[in-house]
Structure 1
């Protein structure tokens, strides 16, 4: 059974009935329920398709935050081989919200950076729910500098509500660390590709997302602030989060229209959590396509990045 979202209640009811019938059949308490199960499964699929046919921005926020979505480490383990993680910023300590190191992607060496939320209570606490401290961003800078030195492309996987806002993080220079990480992305002489796999929140995401190619999963979000934060600032009312989500243009479809991102990776019906293997494979194919396009263009990666980000908003 899945963790159902509010708008998935019709699907939850149908799938609950299917599960009950299957248990009755297994215990020998029902005679022939095969036809009824098939009928309910068909209705359930139709209900799921109806629910996801035209998601509102707020519903996409809910899907992007779904706890069962594949996280950065799921992508790393499935798409990359010989992954060797690096730890520490060589200044203060280690930060587990950002995982990074070197690996091979379809045979070629790459540097990998990922914002990891964790998938249960223990790992969520370990990774601080994907909210990095300054040492995490300084570790990212260290990895990017090594990648640049050895001519290795960089892949970033983003899933965070934002950088950690605690007093200890601010005391150690959170804003400066994010700025330096963003600058390191912009200054890379090698190609870099970023995929927003869930939430892309604020400067915490931007710090490793300033890439030649930026892609988003179909139901992911990317914004300067969370809808709740925007509603609190604009209207002093967090109950207006739905209005903020609509006004902010944070969905993949809106951002592609605005030319903020370069492409969208399709998700299985019902979201990435309902077809993890399929969405991870599709993401890998999109990353490979992005690198291939840049290789064939024989571009100056720093200049391409510069022009790409300077052009944002000029035609609006």
Structure 2
């Protein structure tokens, strides 16, 4: 029998530095991947990996938060917290995908957007809002895969998709449990209690209709990548034949339904 984990346990697992990162999913699932860099405004942000490739027989655009394996890599990627340039690069690639009729697959794994002064000076809030707006109006199919942390607007910027897939130990929330506890109770040490209250686990979000598919994480990496592959195919297939107008309308209806308990059976 599978051990029942608390929300705090799920948070710890979501933050485990040994979890596969976006680049590894891309290498396993996307054939002929060609990375594309730059936001055409200021520079490139390596903490957002983006490019084009083939998902089975379908050309796709892939965008995801990138974390590192070593301290040096994590400093380079700011532990998966993008600058405005990362989100503006994402917007550029989404619009390119729409122009050429390519579905968009995103991989979400971030504590949140980078909160530094330089990021704020260059319009962090506007960049995130623009990414959410662009993704919500895309006239091509989109699938978001939550592979670890999904924190705040930094996650929503790549998560406003037609379908959301979550690994069973991934999380998705308005902010970190520590931040929630600090605001609500003035005590970050109560983060475990906050995690329970926030309903941030894949199971919670599936019940609320925000997550469409939860993927088990038992087994080795090969089995995990295979499950994610099958999950993306399952969620993407019915979207491929829909018109751009139908996609936008259904996406709007989907977000309006959030928060209602999903009917089982």
Task: Give the TM-score taking structure 1 as reference length.
Answer: 0.80
Kindly indicate whether the alpha-carbon contact (under 8 Å) linking 1:111 and 1:154 is maintained by their aligned counterparts in 2.
yes
SS in 1 for 2:140: coil
**Is 1:308 aligned to residue 254 of structure 2?**
yes
RMSD, aligned α-carbons: 1.5
Determine which of 293, 303, 311 is the counterpart of 2:238.
293
Q: Which structure 2 residues correspond to residues 88-237 of structure 1 after superposition, within 5 A?
A: 88-237=38-187
Deviation string 1:198-241 (CA, Å, 9 cap, x unpaired) is 00100000001100000100111100010000001111111100
The corresponding residue for 1:9 is none
Q: Is the 8 A contact 2:67 2:74 kept in 1?
A: yes
TM-score (norm 2): 0.95
Distance, in Å, in 2 between the alignment partners of 1:126 and 1:83 is 22
Give structure 1 stretches of 5+ with no counterpart.
Answer: 1-48, 270-274
CA 1:277–1:220 in 2, change beyond 3 Å: closer, same or farther?
same
Aligned to 1:258: 208
Q: Which has the higher helix share?
A: 1
Query: Is 1:276 the equivalent of 2:225?
Result: no
Give the aligned partner of residue 13 of structure 1: none
Q: Is the 8 A contact 1:213 1:261 kept in 2?
A: yes
Q: Distance in 1 between matches of 2:121 and 2:32?
A: 36
Q: What CA distance in whole angstroms lies between the structure 2 residues aligned with 1:62 and 1:277? A: 22
Question: 1:298 deviation in Å?
Answer: 6.7
CA shift, 1:281, in A, is: 1.4
Secondary structure in structure 1 of the residue aligned to 2:155: helix
Q: Could you list the runs of 5+ residues in structure 2 that have no partner in the other structure?
A: none
Q: CA deviation at 1:148?
A: 0.2
Alignment partner, residue 189 of structure 2: 239
Specify the SS of the correspondent of 1:189.
coil
Alpha carbons 1:157, 1:194 under 8 Å: kept: yes
Distance in 2 between the 1:91 and 1:162 partners? 22
Q: How far did 1:315 drift? A: 6.6
The corresponding residue for 1:30 is none
Alignment partners' CA distance in 2, 1:313 and 1:285? 27
Measured after TM superposition, the shift of residue 296 of structure 1 is 6.1
Count of residues in Structure 1 that have an aligned counterpart in Structure 2: 261
Q: Is the 8 A contact 1:132 1:164 kept in 2?
A: yes
Instruction: Report which structure shows greater RCO (CA 8 Å, sep ≥6).
Output: 2
- Find the residue that maps to 2:113 and give its secondary structure: coil
Equivalence for 1:44: none
SS of the equivalent of 2:158 reads helix
Please report how far the alpha carbon of residue 81 of structure 1 lies from its aligned counterpart in structure 2 after TM superposition.
Answer: 1.0
Shift of 1:122: 2.2
Query: Equivalent of 2:30, from 67, 80, 102?
Result: 80
Q: Using the TM superposition, give the Cα deviation of residue 243 of structure 1 relative to its aligned residue in structure 2, in angstroms.
A: 0.5
- 1:62 partner SS: helix
User: Residue by residue, what CA displacement relative to the aligned partner does 1:165-213 show, whole Å, maximum 9, x if unpaired?
Assistant: 0000000000000000001101110000001000010000000110000
Following the alignment from structure 2 to structure 1, what is the Cα–Cα distance between the partners of residues 190 and 125?
28
The one-character-per-residue Cα deviations of 1:231-281 (angstroms, maximum 9, x if unpaired) are 011111111001100000000000100111111011116xxxxx2221111
